[in-house]
Copies of this chain bind each other. A is one copy, B any other.
Amino acid sequence: MVHVEQKVSGNINHSIDYSKIPTFRTCGTSEFQGALEFVRTAEAKIDFVFPEVVFPTNKLYRLWGEKNIRDMVFYHHRLLRKSSIGSFFSSDDAVFEFATKKTGDFFVEALGGGKVYSSQYGHPALRMRHFHMTIDEKAREIWLMMYKKTIKELSMPAECIEEFWNWIEALSIRMINRRTTVLDIQRFPFTDMFKEPIAQKKESN
């Protein structure tokens, strides 16, 4: 049994065996009971296991190329701008385009196109960079669903979709920076998202 040391400030230091710790969702609401002569205890919990993130290979970059990746990011941001999280983006077109270009640099580099992002901006530090936006569970879902739409409408090469989707689906969970715990963090498996023949334009904006 492996024990992991959790560093906390002050002099409370727990040696934790995670295998024994339930999540909020695996426990029901316990009965409320007033104090008695003896002490009662509610067990330690964790919230959620952030799943592993499997990064894509450079297959999409090799098959689709830089221009299509940049077009995808622009398309996605334009969808987001019209969505309920549109306020994440500037209403000033020049600012919007600059931000989208920067995101495009990130995707090009992340997908294998060389250091076009990190040479300008350094480490992505994605959670810190997104912190000024209130990303809760719902905002992450909207971001992800607009990628589903983008992938379909721009006809991403079918053989690249699964690894691209699995990457952003898991990665986007880590961007949640105002975790409410009231909403579950939903998973959106590739097989559920892309059931219909890919590259058919079923939805249009």
Mark A residues whose CB is within 8 Å of B. 1-12, 14, 16-23, 25-26, 29, 31-32, 34-61, 109-115, 118, 123-125, 127-128, 131, 136, 163, 177-182, 184, 186-189, 191-192
Contact = CB atoms under 8 A, between A and B. Distances in A.
Given A6-B25, A17-B19, A18-B21, 15 more contacts: A18-B19, A32-B109, A34-B109, A34-B111, A34-B113, A35-B55, A35-B57, A35-B58, A40-B54, A41-B53, A42-B53, A45-B50, A177-B182, A178-B179, A179-B181
A3 B179 CA distance: 25
* Chain A interface helix/strand/loop/mixed: loop
Instruction: Please state the number of chain copies in the assembly.
Output: 2
A134 B153 CA distance: 38
17 contacts: A1-B19, A6-B25, A6-B48, A7-B25, A10-B188, A10-B189, A18-B21, A29-B125, A31-B123, A32-B124, A35-B60, A35-B111, A36-B57, A37-B57, A42-B52, A178-B178, A178-B180
B32 A118 contact: yes
Contacts of A2: 19-20
Which residue of A46, A109, A115, A179 has the most chain B CB atoms within 10 A of its CB atom?
A46
B44 A46 contact: no
Given A17-B19, A19-B4, A186-B9, A112 B52 contact: no
9 tightest Cβ-Cβ pairs between the two chains A and B: A18-B18, A35-B112, A179-B179, A35-B58, A42-B53, A19-B19, A2-B19, A178-B178, A44-B52
Which residue of A8, A21, A34, A42 has the most chain B CB atoms within 10 A of its CB atom?
A34
